[in-house]
Amino acid sequence: MHVGYLGPKNSFTYQAASYCFDSAVLTPFTSIPNCLNALKKDHIDYAIVPIENSLEGSVHTSVDGLFNQKDIQVYQEIILPIEQQLLVKNVTVIPEKILSHPQAIAQSQTFLETYYPDCLIEQVASTTFAAQYVANHPTESIAAIASKEAAEEYGLHILSRNIQDNRFNQTRFWLLGKKPLKDSLPIEKLTLFITLPNNAPGILHKVLSAFAWRSIDLSKIESRPLKTELGEYYFILDVPVTNNKDLINYALEEISLLGATIQHLGYYPIVIKER
């Protein structure tokens, strides 16, 4: 089996992929669109991409890349704890520049503002690239924000530990494919993309009513721009699935009758990696 993931090796997505698969061939991709395209063209059997971080919110490239297509479904959700470290080559150096991926920088905003308010912050393509760069430039006064796995891989020292803004920083990843996995866990959640008809005031309220009066809980509701003009959105809804599958189907039927377009991303199980 051939699984693509958002690389490079040792990225958080790599950790999610190796947590899911013991024996698959794991291939890194340089970007989320490249990884999703490989799955669309059947160059890989499954893809693993980040979907949402508890500090930063949805990963838009992943979510938007799955909108408006029919073939790809979610077959598993993987939740990983995300801990960021401030890494240096030489512990006696005071960093004048800190390199990392924009998401990791955003996750460490409070730490950076408190302890490194005057430091130059430079965005690079990945936390792994940042760690590698710091390892390869031992004479520069630079640091990287990256994982402890990256510290081990590139022989760096941890100058400050767990610098992310919140102890409970977690990221959700999706295992995506065109056919179900052989061994499947019990279903826990359903994700839907719902596009509302234009110029229908209060339509979101009506859509939510279809769930509310059936006591169907929603664990997430989020809007994303339709990329047409400002103020037009589609909605991402997560529905926890218990023994309410029939009720959910009735609600969806009703919502279609209201003129909304529903895209099923699939019913899927959730696995959580402990810290």
Select the residue interacting with a second copy from 45, 83, 122, 188 (CB under 8 A): 122
Q: Identify which of residues 113 and 183 has a Cβ nearer to a second copy in the complex.
A: 113
Binding mask 205-234 toward a second copy (x if CB under 8 A, else -) reads: xx-xx-xx--x-xxxxxxxxx-xxxxx-x-
Q: How far is the CB of 215 from a second copy (least distance, A)?
A: 7
195 lies in the binding site for a second copy (CB under 8 A): no
Whether residue 132 contacts residue 154, with contact meaning beta carbons closer than 8 Å, is answered with yes
38 lies in the binding site for a second copy (CB under 8 A): no
Q: How far is the CB of 33 from a second copy (least distance, A)?
A: 6
Q: What is the DSSP string of 218-236?
A: -SEEEEEE-SSSTT-EEEE
Q: Identify which of residues 70 and 205 has a Cβ nearer to a second copy in the complex.
A: 205
Please tell me the distance from the alpha carbon of residue 218 to that of residue 241, in angstroms, as a whole number: 10
166 lies in the binding site for a second copy (CB under 8 A): yes
Whether residue 74 contacts residue 266, with contact meaning beta carbons closer than 8 Å, is answered with yes
Per-position b or e across 110-121, b if 16+ CB within 10 A of its CB? ebbeeebeebee
Name the amino acid, one letter, at 90: N
Cβ neighbors of 184 (< 8 A, separation 6 or more) are 75, 269
Q: How many residues bind a second copy (CB under 8 A)?
A: 51
Q: How far is the CB of 52 from a second copy (least distance, A)?
A: 7
83 lies in the binding site for a second copy (CB under 8 A): no
Whether residue 232 contacts residue 224, with contact meaning beta carbons closer than 8 Å, is answered with no
Q: How far is the CB of 22 from a second copy (least distance, A)?
A: 26
Whether residue 224 contacts residue 63, with contact meaning beta carbons closer than 8 Å, is answered with yes
Whether residue 46 contacts residue 175, with contact meaning beta carbons closer than 8 Å, is answered with yes
Instruction: Enter the tokens of residue 212.
Output: 């509310």
Q: How far is the CB of 220 from a second copy (least distance, A)?
A: 6
Query: Which range binds a second copy by CB under 8 A, 53-61, 66-74, 134-142, 180-188?
Result: 53-61
Instruction: Enter the tokens of residue 61.
Output: 């490239």
Q: Identify which of residues 69 and 123 has a Cβ nearer to a second copy in the complex.
A: 123
Sites of contact with a second copy (CB under 8 A): 31, 33, 37, 52-57, 60-61, 79, 102, 106, 109, 113, 121-125, 165-166, 168, 170, 172, 201-202, 204-206, 208-209, 211-212, 215, 217-225, 227-231, 233
